[in-house]
A and B are shown apart, each in its own frame.
Chain A
Amino acid sequence: MDQIGVVETQYLQFDGLRLESGGYLGPLTVAYETYGKFNDKRDNAVLVLHALSGDAHAAGLDENGRTGWWDGMIGPGKGIDTNKYFVICSNCLGGCKGTTGPTSINPDTGGAYGRSFPLITIGDMVNVQAMLVEKLGISKLHTVIGGSMGGMQALDWACRYGDRLKSAVVIAATARLSPQGIAFNWVGRNAIRSDPVIPLNQSDSTSSDRKSGRGLAVARMIGHITYLSEETMQAKFGRKRTLRDMDGTTYSLGENEGFGGEFEIESYLQHKGSSFMERFDEDSYIIITKAIDYFDLVRQCGDMVTAVENITAKMFIISFTSDWLYPTSMSMAIVRALQAAKKHVSFVEVDLPYGHDSFLVPQGMPTLTRIVRGFLKGV
C-alpha cells in the first residue's frame, strides 16, 4: 500500500473532564483518526497534534475527497511512516470538528454551548488527548509531535506525562506566547465581536444566520498574514493584480465578497477568510485562541527549568528562520531550559522562507521529512 486512502473519523465518548479552571465538562466526545497499525508491543504509536485551525483529519482522504492537513508528512514511506508507526490525530477540546466544543450540545440546556462554553487551557486539551491514548490501550507513546499550538501541546505533554511518552517533537512553538502573538489574537477576536451580524447574547449565539458574519473571516485573514513571511508574500503574490482590475477611479473595500480584492494578496486573503468562515466556528476560534494566549509554562511553574523538570522524553525542538510569529528565540528559550535541567534535547533551526507555516506548506516537506524521519528512527 503506498497511499493511506479514504479514512473515516472515529468517535469515543467519555464521562467528562475536570478542567484546570476547576469546572467540570461532560459528557465528552473525542473525534480522532488513526493511520497504520499497532506493532505487537503496542509501542509504535505517534500522537500528532494539530494547530489552531486543524482537525483530526491529518492524512489520507475524507469521504469528500479532502486531503488531510499533514498528508505530506504522514503516510507509507513518509516522514511519519505509517508502515512503521501507528499514528493518531484527534480534534482538540474546544474544536468544532467532532470533539466537544462550543458547537456541541450542552446537556444542561439542550442547546449548543455557544459562547457559554467554559474557558479551557492547552493543559485541558492535553488531558483529553491522554484520555484517548489510554482508551486506545497505549501505555507509552513513541512520539508526540505537533506544530504551533500542537507544539505547545507536545511540550505540555512532555512536562505533564513524563513517563507516558518516549519523545516529543515541538515545532514552531513556544512555552509562552509573545505579546505580539497575543495582540494578533486579540484583534482577531475583536473582529468577531465587532461583527454586527452576530447576536452577542448567548441564547442567540447559535442561531444559523450568524454564520453570515464576516468577523471570523477577518480574524482568519489577520492570522494568515502572521503565518506567512514577507519573503513568501513577495514571491507568491508580489504586487500582481487579479484579472478583475479596477479602472483607476473606483476601488474595493472588500465589500463585494464574490469580487475579491484588487491585488492578488487581497484576493488570497479574501479566499482564505471566506473558506474559513464556511468550515470553522467563531466560538471555537475564540476559545482556542484564548487557550493559546493563556499558555505560559513560566507562570505555571515559576520558571522554565522547573517546568521541564519532570521530562524524561527525548525532546526535539524545531524552529524556522522566517517564522516571526513564533521566532527561533522562543524555541531557544525552551532549549536553554532543557539544557539547564540536563534533559536530552536536540534543536534544529530550519532555514525555510515560508514563515510560521513552514511546517505545513508542501515546499517545506522534503526538508522537514528528513529531519522528522531521522529523529523518530533514533528514539
Chain B
Amino acid sequence: MSEQVLEIRTPFHEFEVGFNVIIDLITPGTRVLDLGCGSGTLLARLRDEKDVEGCGVELDQEKVIRCTERGIRVMTLDLDHGLEGFPDLSYEYVVLSRTLQQIINPERLVREMLRVGSKSIIAFPNFANWKIALRYLLTGRTPIVKTFPHPWFNSPDIHRVTISDFRHFIDDIGGKIEKEIFITKDTPGTNIFWPNGRAEWGCFQISAQ
C-alpha cells in the first residue's frame, strides 16, 4: 500500500481569513520573518499591501523555489532545529501560522521567536473546539476534522493543542499575550464568548515580557 502524501499545512485558500487577520496585525514598512512560509503567499501580500521587508523559512524544496521565483527572500531551514543564526530582535514580527502543532519542540521554537522578533504572531487550530471535543467524547476516537485533517497514525499535526493550553504555555515561558483573535466559521473576533470551546483557530500576538 502506498503511503498517502499529506498536504502539510492548511492550504492558503482555506485559511484566507487567518491571513487577513495576520496582515491586519502587522505595521506597514516593518521586517517580517515568516516561519513555514510555504510558497510565500503571505509574504508576497505583505510586500504588496504593507511594504514589508520579508524573509521566509521553508523546508519543502518546491515551495522554496516558488518563493525565489516570486522574488521572496527565503531560507531552506528546518524549524525543528530552532532559529540559531538569527540575531536577537532582528525582525519586528516573527510569524508562525498553521505550523505550531507540527513542531517537535514548540517551547524551544517559541522562545526563539520571542528572542528574534519584537513581536510574534502565532496562528494554530484549536483542538478544544466543541465539535471536535464532542466527537472525541462520543466516539472515543481521535476526530478527523477540517483543522486536523489527518488520522492520528499518519499526521503532521503531532500536537493537539488548545487555546487554553496556549495561554498557559505563554504564561509558563514568561511571554506576554498582547492580542488574541479567534476565528470561527471564517469569521474573526476578538472578544467572543467561550473561545476555547468555540474557536476553530486562535491567532495570538505575543512578545517577551
Contacts and interface: CB of A to CB of B under 8 A. Distances in A.
Contact of A374 (B71, B75, B76, B84): B71
Interface stretch (B85-93, B106-114, B124-132, B181-189): B85-93
Interface string B55-90: 000000100110011111111110000001111001
Contacts of B73: 344-346, 378
Nearest to A318: B76
A339 B87 contact: yes
Interface string A368-379: 001101110110
A374 B68 contact: yes
Given A374-B68, A375-B68, A339 B86 contact: yes
**Secondary structure type dominating chain A contacts:** helix
B75 A347 contact: yes
A367 B74 CA distance: 16
Contacts of B85: 332, 335-336, 339-340
Interface string A266-307: 000000000000000000000000000000000000000000
Contact of A347 (B69, B77, B87): B77
Residues of A in contact with B, size category: 20 to 34
A348 interface: yes
B61 A350 contact: yes
Interface in B133-190: none
Interface centre among B68, B70, B74, B90 (most CB of A within 10 A): B68
A367 B64 CA distance: 11
A377 B87 contact: no
Contacts of B70: 374
A378 B68 contact: yes
Interface residues of B, number: 18
B86 A374 contact: no
SS of B interface (majority)? loop
Contacts, number: 53
A375 B73 CA distance: 9
Contacts of B86: 339
Contacts of B76: 347-349
A346 B73 CA distance: 6
Contact of B65 (A332, A344, A370): A370
B65 A367 contact: yes
A374 B90 contact: no
A342 interface: yes
B167 to A, nearest CB: 32
Contacts of B64: 348
A369 to B, nearest CB: 10
Given A340-B85, A340-B87, A371 B65 contact: yes
A336 B77 CA distance: 12
A351 interface: yes
Contacts of A350: 61
A344 B75 CA distance: 11
Contacts of A348: 64-65, 68, 74-76
B71 A342 contact: no
B75 A346 contact: yes
Nearest to B74: A346
B44 to A, nearest CB: 11
A346 B87 contact: no
Interface in A44-67: none
Nearest to B83: A339
Contacts of B75: 335, 345-348
Interface in A317-346: 332, 335-336, 339-340, 342, 344-346
A316 to B, nearest CB: 8
Given A339-B86, A346-B74, A348-B76, A370 B61 contact: no
15 contacts: A332-B85, A335-B85, A340-B87, A342-B90, A345-B75, A347-B74, A347-B75, A349-B76, A351-B61, A367-B61, A370-B65, A370-B68, A374-B68, A374-B69, A374-B71
Interface of B: 61, 64-65, 68-77, 84-87, 90
Q: Give 4 closest A-B pairs by Cβ, nearest first.
A: A378-B71, A374-B68, A374-B69, A349-B76
Given A347-B76, A378-B71, 18 more contacts: A335-B75, A336-B84, A336-B85, A339-B90, A340-B87, A346-B68, A346-B73, A348-B65, A348-B68, A348-B76, A367-B61, A370-B68, A371-B65, A373-B69, A374-B65, A374-B69, A374-B70, A374-B71
